[in-house]
Amino acid sequence: MLFAVTISGILSYSYVGQSINHQAASAQGGGKLIESIINNTNKSATLGDLIYEASGKIVGQRVINNEDGTSGFGKIEVSYTGSGYIKGVGNISETWTFENTYLPNNVSQGVGHGVIIPINGNGSAKAFELGRGFPEDSGKIVYPGARFFSADPGGKLAFLNGVVGVTEWTVDSSGNYSHKMWQWK
């Protein structure tokens, strides 16, 4: 399945000239599970249920100075806000900020942070996501990704602690987005 290949590729991709900080990824959720995915040792892992869907709009963008030696590549910070639904929780609101690096092959690499809040206000979760954007002929960009959570242990989103999500974002030329997330098991 495309997503099974994608998660391995996403977690092993590197920024131009530097590797992903796997320690930061491990700190975001479930150390051994993440290590098994990074090192591809979890041979029985499968794509689980669709548990999260959301949509919204880009609300801000800014150019980022490339201080890390990748001055030949453009970087843009993009902020999104929207709403959606999480299985077993209900309606949520979400806000994301991604730092996207645009590569010469017309692919973008993104690292993002999000905050998810149930509409009833019972708890919250932070998310860390890695993804790559691939342009389609329609003008949309599709971003497969991997997401890690840290949630309020007493809230409705506590079950997300230790969950690794496989995501697919679609962003159109008007700045509208939608995404789905499946639980990686």
| Structural domain boundaries enclosing 81 | 2-184
* pLDDT given for residue 134 in this prediction: 95
- Gap between the terminal Cα atoms of the chain: 14
State whether the Cα torsion 13-17-23-27 is positive or negative.
Answer: negative
Domain count, the chain: 1
For residue 100, the domain's CATH number is 2.40.160.20
pTM of the model as a whole: 0.74
pLDDT in tens, the chain (185 residues): 343 333 444 343 333 332 333 333 334 444 444 444 444 455 556 788 999 999 999 999 999 987 766 556 789 999 999 999 999 999 999 999 999 998 888 899 999 999 999 998 899 999 999 999 999 999 999 999 999 999 999 999 999 998 999 999 999 999 999 999 999 98
Q: Cα–Cα distance between 63 and 59 in angstroms, integer?
A: 14
Q: What are the φ and ψ backbone dihedral angles of 130, each rounded to 5 degrees?
A: -120, 140
Note whether 76 and 61 are within 8 A (CB): yes
Query: Looking at the DSSP assignment, which residues form a beta bridge with residue 174?
Result: none
* For the chain, percent of residues with pLDDT exceeding 90: 62
